[in-house]
Amino acid sequence: MAYLAGKMVLAVEAGAPNNGKGEDTKAKVKYARVRGRHYPYISAQAVRRWTRDGMVELGSVSSPVTRIGKAQNKAQKGNTEANPVRYADDDLFGYMKAGAKKDGASTTLRDSPFMLGTLMSVEPAYPTEDFGVMSRGVSEPVLHGHEFYTADLAAPFLLDLPRIGTFTLPDAGGVGRPNYLSQEEAMQVAEAAQAGASSVVFREQPAIQLPIEERRRRAALLLEALAHLSGGAKQALHYGDRVPALLVMVPFKGGINPLAHCVDGQEGTGLRVRGEVLRKELQAWDGEWEAPVRIGWRPGFRDLMREDFEKECAQEIEDGTIVIDHPRTVLRDLAAELRDGRLDAWFDDPAR
């Protein structure tokens, strides 16, 4: 196996975890309009930031960020250190660092091995406006407002395990997406970090690869950060739990995600978790995935739906094809398997 395909659901209750552009004195939540309906969402950028912060809480050192550009609404950019050998977040979340033409600097970039979709509400949900007045100690009250909502939000994700700790270089003709500009530059950084990197050919492109011990550690760190996900806007007024209420993960040979219609929503009824759809998808992709399907389902979340799902998939649960536990337990157990080297085959592309 090479990819970990998944889908997560966050249950937001009277929250405003990700705000958009405000209007006058009102802070507005982000939402999409689909066929005239409002669907609140949390951007993938926000959730990736929460995950990155979680990695820091677990002891990871984040890549320093440099802001370039003097004024707002003008040409500006922010760059990380763009050093995926030294910084796990540069490795896992990717970057693009464009050098200034006047300095003759080149551009280096890295596509993220951790791919995450937008956390979109599974059914229409109209935000509520909370109007407020700040009048303490002032003669003229200050008026303000903000929005919040209650919804279940779902998003797919995909983790490309072979690309963790593997950094591609341009070929002799300059073709390819360079995570480093040259092999010499990459190896100098690797030696300075005492990382023990080696030269490999990865997906028909020259690359530098970290030792398997470090690659295991980084993959496990990402899952552990998801296991205690927290963050978001308006926490002082709308604090809420951000650990996934529901999580489904399946290891796959290819970079596809068959879970789109297994966990979705329907207007009027909300979230759906359909065991029959999951079974049919697994049958259609027979030979392309590896058991077990790991499902994290928080106690108290959609209990009746869970009972129906467990009845639909009773045979798969009994024979171990599907395992169900708390999302935190599922993520941490999988992280432990990765750290212990029990899943090292996942870090190599499967033979075809």
User: How much is the pLDDT for 27?
Assistant: 87
Instruction: Say if 174 falls within a structural domain.
Output: no
pLDDT in tens, 225-282: 999 999 999 888 898 999 999 999 999 998 889 999 999 999 889 999 999 999 999 9
Provide the edge-to-edge strand list for the sheet that holds 205-209.
166-168, 205-209, 198-202
Rounded Cα gap, residues 21 and 129, in angstroms: 15
End-to-end C-alpha distance for the chain, whole angstroms: 11
User: How much is the pLDDT for 196?
Assistant: 81
| Mean per-residue pLDDT, 7-13 | 98
Q: Which residue has the higher pLDDT, 74 or 322?
A: 322
* The 3-state secondary structure of 304-334, one letter per residue: HHHHHHHHHCHHHHHCCCEEEECHHHHHHHH
Rounded Cα gap, residues 248 and 323, in angstroms: 10
Which range, of 150-154, 229-233, 348-352, averages the lowest pLDDT?
348-352
pLDDT in tens, 177-198: 667 656 666 666 655 445 688 8
Instruction: Say if 148 falls within a structural domain.
Output: yes
| Mean per-residue pLDDT, 12-35 | 89
User: How much is the pLDDT for 192?
Assistant: 42
pTM of the complete model: 0.91
Average pLDDT of the chain, as a whole number? 89
User: How much is the pLDDT for 278?
Assistant: 97
Burial class (CB in 10 A: 0-12, 13-18, 19+), 206: middle
CA dihedral 177, 181, 187, 190 (to 10 degrees): -70
pLDDT in tens, 83-126: 888 899 999 999 888 766 555 456 788 899 999 999 999 999 99
Q: Which residue has the higher pLDDT, 147 or 196?
A: 147
| Mean per-residue pLDDT, 326-341 | 98
Domain of residue 32, residue span: 3-165+210-347
Instruction: Say if 175 falls within a structural domain.
Output: no
Instruction: Say if 184 falls within a structural domain.
Output: no
**Number of domains composing the chain:** 1
pLDDT at 286 over 90: yes
Instruction: Say if 183 falls within a structural domain.
Output: no
User: How much is the pLDDT for 104?
Assistant: 46
Q: How far is CA 46 from the centre of its chain?
A: 9
Instruction: Say if 193 falls within a structural domain.
Output: no
User: How much is the pLDDT for 106?
Assistant: 65
| Mean per-residue pLDDT, 298-311 | 98
Region of residue 265 (left: phi > 0; alpha: psi -120 to 50; beta: else): beta
| Mean per-residue pLDDT, 196-209 | 88
The H or E element spanning position 42 is strand 37-42
Rounded Cα gap, residues 45 and 117, in angstroms: 9
Instruction: Say if 10 falls within a structural domain.
Output: yes
**Contact present, 48 and 62 (Cβ < 8 Å):** no
Instruction: Write out the two tokens for 164.
Output: 């963790």
Instruction: Say if 190 falls within a structural domain.
Output: no
Above pLDDT 70, what percent of the chain? 89
